[in-house]
Chains A and B, each alone.
Chain A
Amino acid sequence: MNGILAHELTKTFRNRWLSVALAIGCILAIVAAAEAITTVDALYRSMSADGEHYGLDATTFLGLSTASSYGNWMAVNANAPLSSTVFFYLAPLLTAIPFSWSYQQERDSYLAHVLLRRTRTQAYGAKAAASFLVGGTVVALPLVLNFIIVSCFLPAYMPQYNECNYTGMFYDSYFSWFFYNAPLMFVALFTLLDFCLAGCWAVLCLAISTLFRNNRVATLIVPYLGLLAWVYLVPNIVFANVQGFSTDLIHCMMATHFSDPPEPLAAAALLVALPAASFVLFLCERRRDVL
């Protein structure tokens, strides 16, 4: 197992499509940081011109949460609504780009040889593990990069709960206790959560690719369209009469919300449901003749 996993990981992390996906994610992270920093700068200027100031110099409203690096981190997104939204809406597509097509490409060639020497469980497990790690990396690295850039320009003020309306981080948001008490821990935990969610989504895309034959475009895009349908239809039809939380992957990856808060239980359910669905698809694939 170790040998095949090491080989899959080497293939995955040396894949040029990983560079492409990471480059797109990092560009969006840099643009989101620039958007947040310029917005905060404009706020400083306008409030200074009014004689009120901003941050620790403020005479009335402190605005520590929205002026801080924590409040302007991409996942919290107090001042950069466009770039970070584009990032989170493209993230499911970006996680699929580096490796989700590999099973389909190798099914009739390389994988057939591997299955002479290894069990199917080992072969599929190695692919799924590599896909999980690469999918998580594509989302987590831009998040970390964004936090580093934002921290270089904005002060690390401790977020204040009485400003929750300005950050969108309410008591029922994910890890909100950490955000207001140990914000660096919040950043670490949320990055880990997004890593796991993106990784599980990448594994599901890999599993869905077993349904297609010689159609890499469909392998990458059909799961994404399915996810958009989920974002649109599930709140309108399935949960039309249930107010209160969003269940889709995209909004579960964002810390703040507009009307329906991301529900921690929904994220936990996703972390179980996505691997379970992948497992079922691989189980069905196991029964098929590999030749």
Chain B
Amino acid sequence: MNRHTTTKWTAWRTLLIDLRLGFSASARWYVLTALFALCSIELAVAGSDFFGIEKASLTWADHLALFVGGCEPYVFRQGLIFVPPAGWLLGLLLPAYMTLGYPYRDLMGFGQHALIRTSRASWWLSKCAWIVLTVIAFWAIVVAAATVITVLDGVPFSLRLTQGAFATVSGLANVPPGGIGSLPFFAGVLGMSVALCLAQMTLAFIVRPSVAFGCMAALLVVSAHTMHPALLGNYLMLARLGDAVPGGVSPLVGLGVAAVLAPASVVGGLFFFRRTDLVAKELFA
């Protein structure tokens, strides 16, 4: 009897395996994330010149927030087409893709063997934990990229969001001279990002990954078009931050929605996953 059959297959062990396999599968995407984040923030900072904003007036929080700058809501006028902010869209679809592939590949390969020795609940919860950690790692890389640009530009490490960052993405913003605190906004972005990725995985098991990814992309495009609290992409955009933009959304409400959506996705997904025939179904599209 070999070592593996005698080892107790716990939820903890499943998670450790997921961390090892999942992170090694996504390693190249973390490198791409770092490059993209550097590029995106630097382009946004360069773009602020166009609005007459001094590079030196931006803070570390501004640099980080510009990664999720977004755009003003679309105001209808005949002949004026709506152009979604491609950089913002790509920045949010990257973690969506990174958390989409591994659970399915695992289920079609190693996971089927693991499921013989562990419960479905353990497998599912382990994947959810892996998704949370992957999204946190993604944002940690973006934070590192913002820090690198802050050091290179020699601007202060302040947690205040200034008018400069808002003016780059929205002409509607009105920020007090001392700036506004950034922590609620960043907490809202992280929370909503995690919740959307969990919701996407649940949806992926119901309607397949490619369609779930398409739904996520559609949600983000619609959110970029319309400023409304029910469109969750608004909580992921600096240009829609209610503290500075009239009619914008509150990051605390976003955190609340994420706090409901994330557990609902985990429980709903588990409910569906426990009743799915994993052998007879083609789950890999």
B101 within 8 Å of A (CB atoms): yes
B189 within 8 Å of A (CB atoms): no
The distance in angstroms between the C-alpha atoms of A220 and B104, with both chains bound, is 14
| In the complex with contacts A85-B84, A85-B225, A225-B97, A79-B78 CB distance below 8 A | yes
Minimum CB distance partner of B87 in chain A = A232
Query: Is the pair A228, B210 in contact by a Cβ cutoff of 8 Å?
Result: no
Query: Is the pair A101, B285 in contact by a Cβ cutoff of 8 Å?
Result: yes
List CB contacts (< 8 Å) of A28-48 with chain B: 39
A143 within 8 Å of B (CB atoms): no
B93 within 8 Å of A (CB atoms): yes
List CB contacts (< 8 Å) of A4-56 with chain B: 17, 20, 24, 39
Interface string of B65-100 (1 = CB under 8 A from A): 000000000101011111110110110011001001
Query: Is the pair A82, B284 in contact by a Cβ cutoff of 8 Å?
Result: no
Chain-B contact segment, one of A127-135, A161-169, A183-191: A161-169
Interface string of A56-89 (1 = CB under 8 A from B): 0000000000100000000001110110011001
Minimum CB distance partner of B85 in chain A = A232
Query: Is the pair B79, A167 in contact by a Cβ cutoff of 8 Å?
Result: yes
Chain-A contact segment, one of B145-153, B211-219, B257-265: B211-219
The smallest beta-carbon distance between B196 and chain A, in angstroms, is 16
Query: Is the pair B285, A17 in contact by a Cβ cutoff of 8 Å?
Result: yes
The distance in angstroms between the C-alpha atoms of A93 and B221, with both chains bound, is 14
Minimum CB distance partner of A100 in chain B = B210
B209 within 8 Å of A (CB atoms): yes
Chain-B contact segment, one of A152-160, A209-217, A267-275, A277-285: A209-217
Q: Please name all residues of chain B whose beta carbon is closer than 8 Å to the beta carbon of A164 when the two chains form the complex.
A: 79
Pick from B36, B76, B83, B217 the residue with the most CB of A within 10 Å. B83
Minimum CB distance partner of A216 in chain B = B284
Query: Is the pair A24, B214 in contact by a Cβ cutoff of 8 Å?
Result: yes
A120 within 8 Å of B (CB atoms): no
Query: Is the pair B79, A78 in contact by a Cβ cutoff of 8 Å?
Result: yes
The distance in angstroms between the C-alpha atoms of A85 and B226, with both chains bound, is 13
B115 within 8 Å of A (CB atoms): no
Q: Please name all residues of chain B whose beta carbon is closer than 8 Å to the beta carbon of A82 when the two chains form the complex.
A: 74, 82, 222, 225-226
Minimum CB distance partner of A89 in chain B = B221
Q: Please name all residues of chain B whose beta carbon is closer than 8 Å to the beta carbon of A121 when the two chains form the complex.
A: none
| In the complex with contacts A97-B210, A233-B39, A166-B104 CB distance below 8 A | no
Query: Is the pair A93, B214 in contact by a Cβ cutoff of 8 Å?
Result: yes
The distance in angstroms between the C-alpha atoms of A231 and B91, with both chains bound, is 13
Query: Is the pair B285, A166 in contact by a Cβ cutoff of 8 Å?
Result: no
How many residues does chain B have at the interface if contact means C-beta atoms less than 8 Å apart? 39
Query: Is the pair B217, A90 in contact by a Cβ cutoff of 8 Å?
Result: yes
| In the complex with contacts A217-B100, A228-B90, A232-B87, A93-B78 CB distance below 8 A | no
Query: Is the pair A86, B222 in contact by a Cβ cutoff of 8 Å?
Result: yes
Q: Please name all residues of chain B whose beta carbon is closer than 8 Å to the beta carbon of A85 when the two chains form the complex.
A: 81-84, 221, 225
Q: Please name all residues of chain A whose beta carbon is closer than 8 Å to the beta carbon of B90 when the two chains form the complex.
A: 225, 228-229, 232
The distance in angstroms between the C-alpha atoms of A165 and B36, with both chains bound, is 36
Query: Is the pair B213, A81 in contact by a Cβ cutoff of 8 Å?
Result: no
List CB contacts (< 8 Å) of B183-225 with chain A: 209-211, 213-214, 217-218, 221-222, 225
A181 within 8 Å of B (CB atoms): no
The smallest beta-carbon distance between A61 and chain B, in angstroms, is 11
Query: Is the pair B210, A77 in contact by a Cβ cutoff of 8 Å?
Result: no
Query: Is the pair A225, B93 in contact by a Cβ cutoff of 8 Å?
Result: yes
The smallest beta-carbon distance between A34 and chain B, in angstroms, is 15
Query: Is the pair A218, B101 in contact by a Cβ cutoff of 8 Å?
Result: yes
Query: Is the pair A231, B86 in contact by a Cβ cutoff of 8 Å?
Result: yes
- Pick from A78, A86, A233: contact of B78, CB below 8 A: A78
Query: Is the pair B213, A221 in contact by a Cβ cutoff of 8 Å?
Result: yes
The smallest beta-carbon distance between A85 and chain B, in angstroms, is 5
B105 within 8 Å of A (CB atoms): yes
B21 within 8 Å of A (CB atoms): no
A257 within 8 Å of B (CB atoms): yes
A256 within 8 Å of B (CB atoms): yes
A119 within 8 Å of B (CB atoms): no
A94 within 8 Å of B (CB atoms): yes
The distance in angstroms between the C-alpha atoms of A100 and B97, with both chains bound, is 18
The distance in angstroms between the C-alpha atoms of A185 and B76, with both chains bound, is 28
A236 within 8 Å of B (CB atoms): yes
B43 within 8 Å of A (CB atoms): yes
Query: Is the pair B78, A166 in contact by a Cβ cutoff of 8 Å?
Result: yes
Q: Which 3 pairs across A and B sit closest by C-beta, in order of nearness?
A: A232-B86, A81-B82, A166-B78
Other A-B contacts than A167-B79, A220-B213, 19 sampled, CB-CB below 8 A, are A78-B78, A82-B222, A85-B81, A85-B225, A90-B214, A93-B214, A97-B210, A167-B78, A168-B80, A215-B105, A217-B101, A217-B210, A221-B97, A221-B210, A225-B93, A229-B36, A229-B90, A256-B81, A258-B83
A to B CB contacts below 8 Å, 10 in the list: A20-B211, A77-B81, A81-B81, A89-B84, A94-B214, A216-B285, A217-B210, A222-B97, A229-B36, A233-B39
